[in-house]
Amino acid sequence: MAEAHQAVGFRPSLTSDGAEADLSASALQDIYLSGLRSWKRHLSRFWNDFLTGVFPASPLSWLFLFSAIQLAWFLQLDPSLGLTEKIKELLPDWGGQHHRLRGVLAAALFASCLWGALIFTLHVALRLLLSYHGWLLEPHGAMSSPTKTWLALVRIFSGRHPMLFSYQRSLPRQPVPSVQDTVRKYLESVRPVLSDEDFDWTAGLAQEFLRLQASLLQWYLQLKSWWASNYVSDWWEEFVYLRSRNSLMVNSNYYMMDFLYVTPTPVQAARAGNAVHALLLYRHRLNRQEILPTLLMGMRPLCSAQYEKIFNTTRVPGTQKGETLSPLLALGGGTVWRGHDRWYDKSFTLIVFSNGKLGLSVEHSWADCPVSGHMWEFTLATECFQLGYSVDGHCKGHPEPSLPRPQRLHWDLPDKVHLSIALALRAAKTLSGDTDCHVFPFSHFGKSFIKRCHLSSDSFIQVALQLAHFRDRGHFCLTYESAMTRLFLEGRTETVRSCTREACNFVRAMEDREKTDSQCLSLFRLAVDKHQALLKAAMSGQGVDRHLFALHIVSQLLHLQAPFLDQVHSEQWQLATSQIPVQQTHLFDVHNYPDYVSSGGGFGPVDDHGYGVSYIFMGDDTVTFHISSKKSSTKTDSHRLGQHIEDALLDVASLFQEGQRLKRGCRGRGEEDAGNRRGSLPGH
């Protein structure tokens, strides 16, 4: 999402003086500190690690094992094959009357060792199973026999009733891709948007990089991947977010929205009260690890590490970079009203408007959208359906008279802080006033229609976005789509470069009146298949951008000049996109209450002359889009792109027989036939 802006603008605050590259102490020290931070995090969550570390076993399983050993001894059987007697001999001799106690202790120690060995074996087996990604690379909607076998084994070794962090010890580490493969994929991704001359120059830089610097930089990444929990995530957090000097508003933070069509109550205080109550219920469940771990496609657990920072987290400004502070008792996120009151440094800010509408502003460094979105779904469903409101719009129940009345906080600030606040407010108003945000629901069709076409919903939208953007700007551009890498321990995101050669071929065909619908449909399917392949590669740790980012950081730490990496990180993403996932469909009854569905969220434009586009599938037949751009740009218009997106989706749908009826229905409602749309019949 908003990470694209930060990823483009990041500049490591490290100097490069052209010094000879060697086994730099600063690079080794940074890698050492990365691993040290990982181990400190493990120690800080020791108790939770103990509760979840024995998973898929449980503490009761130790008691069962110990009881079985004692029963065997009572029946004069020795399941330890003499080991219990050996342990007993090593224990101190406390006298004859304690002989039985020594036997019990020896049996307990043997049971503990056997129990630990079994748990270790289960962890290793589960980690090996979770390292398999063949299921992800299979055709959409298909499952081979090996994958079915793998899934059965995963279910056997996964145990029952997992807690939120139960799978953390069994998740594999994110692999470091082959540098040759990464460079090859990068060159393939930029070919559609570069001239022949520019591409040849870029390819020359790439070959020079592979010949001179790649092997050394790759060695450091391999070393870090062995030592730290994740070879890229902590550097991503530090250099992209915490060292950034950009304003968090618009540039980094993203937002989540309320129900699109309904407001449960117009009473501002009541909505705030129920929302805070719901958030605290979520926090209680989080602390008790009662939130179920997310399973991709219902079978593959994702990393839950980001949930630890939802609450109790804020950014603390520093000279070179920010720090994340986690006080034990503070509630991350604030409730505000006054229109310009936002605490952008906090993990999230709950916004309650005077008409009862809710919003959420989320700071991006601590986690990505699916985690905050999970919390937001729970909040909306709980405050509306579980807590509810009375007939007059107030919270249900009766006030507690013994509680002290709320008091307004009055801040005692020095004069120089007042001046700083005034300057910051002026800058914030300027930045906010320059943002053109357009939110609209596309309700002609949704994921149910796309599934009937036997296509991926996300890939369908992404290829249609290429058509819409081309009609809006008249050229192709680098396109950023955020994909998650939480299949791996402490994984965050990877970039899917959606502007592919296949997508460009499809767009050109759609704009060519001599091409038939069947030809366009064939090219569309090729573009969708290519996008799916890129998405799956990114999710399985074989993407392009995070690897190049980490290589760039190492080159800066080594003071090593790498013109190819400098070129890569000077690129501009004129189209940044992201899908907001709906993760807890069981909380919403989309059939009986179709209006009570989250409308997702969005983020600011990445480039001064570009767009930010996010979308969410609401139920089966609606897609809500959030489009942002800058009003100061003469090249962009969020509403204009929104119209192009609607037209492009209808034109793509018209390539299918069922979609032709949809398009004719739109024409029948009086929609004019714009010149850049295709007809609804083949051969036009």
Task: Classify residue 578 by its DSSP letter.
Answer: E
Residues 6+ apart with CB under 8 A from 417: none
Q: How many CA within 13 A on the CB side of residue 231?
A: 25
From residue 514, alpha-carbon distances to 294, 497, 621, 677 in Å are 47, 29, 32, 14
CA distance 224 to 34: 8
Indicate which residue of 42, 140, 161, 364 is catalytic. 364
d(C-alpha 572, C-alpha 581), whole Å: 26
Judge whether 114 and 65 are in contact, CB under 8 Å.
yes
User: In Å, how far are 153, 234, 351, 506, 674 from 522, measured between CA atoms?
Assistant: 38, 42, 47, 9, 24
Give the position of tokens 């592919």: 500
DSSP string, 448-503: HHHHHTT--HHHHHHHHHHHHHHHHHSS---EEEEEE-TTSTT--EEEEE---HHH
Distance (Å, rounded) from C-alpha 652 to C-alpha 674? 15
Burial group, residue 518, by CB count within 10 angstroms (0-12, 13-18, 19+): exposed
Tell me how far CA of residue 257 lies from CA of 89, 354, 379, 537, in angstroms: 67, 15, 12, 31
Burial class (CB in 10 A: 0-12, 13-18, 19+), 354: exposed
166 token code pair? 């139960």
CA atoms within 13 A on the CB side of 479: 28
**Cross-sheet strand order for the sheet of 622-630:** 435-442, 622-630, 611-618, 575-579, 479-484, 493-497
Q: By the 8 A CB rule, do 375 and 270 touch?
A: no
**Catalytic: 364?**
yes
Q: Which residues pair with 616 in a beta bridge?
A: 624
Rg (CA), the chain: 28
Sole residue written with tokens 């719009």? 393
| Token digits of residue 638 | 């969020």
Pairing of strands 575-579, 479-484: parallel
Q: What are the structure tokens assigned to 111, written together?
A: 């049971």
Residues annotated catalytic, as ranges: 364
